[in-house]
Homo-oligomer: A and B are copies of this chain.
Amino acid sequence: MNNTIFDFIGGNTGDWKVIKMTTLKGDSLPKVTHIDKLSSSLINRFEGIWSLKGVVSNLRYTEKSDKDKLVAIQEDLGRSKATYAALIPIRKNEVWWNLAQDDRRKIMENQSRHTHIGMEYLPAIARKLFHSRDIEEPFDFLTWFEFSPEDEPAFNELLSKLRQTEEWKFVDREIDIRLKRV
């Protein structure tokens, strides 16, 4: 069985040094200097100052034509040149979660073009989504990005575009944690 469960542990040590931590919406998280991203189990780890857990899942909105494009051009995490990263935990409000699948998809794709915006920045920005909502965690998603220092302006542009979308009106907690590989 593949590892699907990961812990993001904020504390005083770890593989990723925190450069900047910005709370965009909702409650912040306690300040930490480092983050470790560890393959985990469902057992809670009492390490660090805080710990966020997420699970890898199947793509829940992406349709066949986009999925094929994504698979063809996206790159994996862990590229040696990708020394910068960002951990952005996100929560969406109850209005979002009470929508039906087709309504959520309409907002994500027809109105917000979520997949297409992300695709413009491939393969430079590698990305992985961890789901947290269904495992009683404080956030719904932990989004993780890796890129090289020269692609940081492009990454900021990507975020700026996403945050202006219709979809982002449903986000009620968001913290942007910028990291550099130790």
Contact = CB atoms under 8 A, between A and B. Distances in A.
Contacts of A133: 57-58
B136 A4 contact: yes
Contacts of A43: 42-44
Interface string A42-77: 111000000001011111111110110000000000
Interface residues of A, number: 33
Interface in A2-54: 3-5, 41-44, 53
A95 interface: no
A109 to B, nearest CB: 10
Interface in A99-135: 99-103, 105, 131, 133-135
Contact of A102 (B41, B42, B64, B134): B64
6 contacts: A41-B136, A42-B53, A62-B100, A64-B99, A64-B102, A67-B100
Interface of A: 1, 3-5, 41-44, 53, 55-64, 66-67, 97, 99-103, 105, 131, 133-136
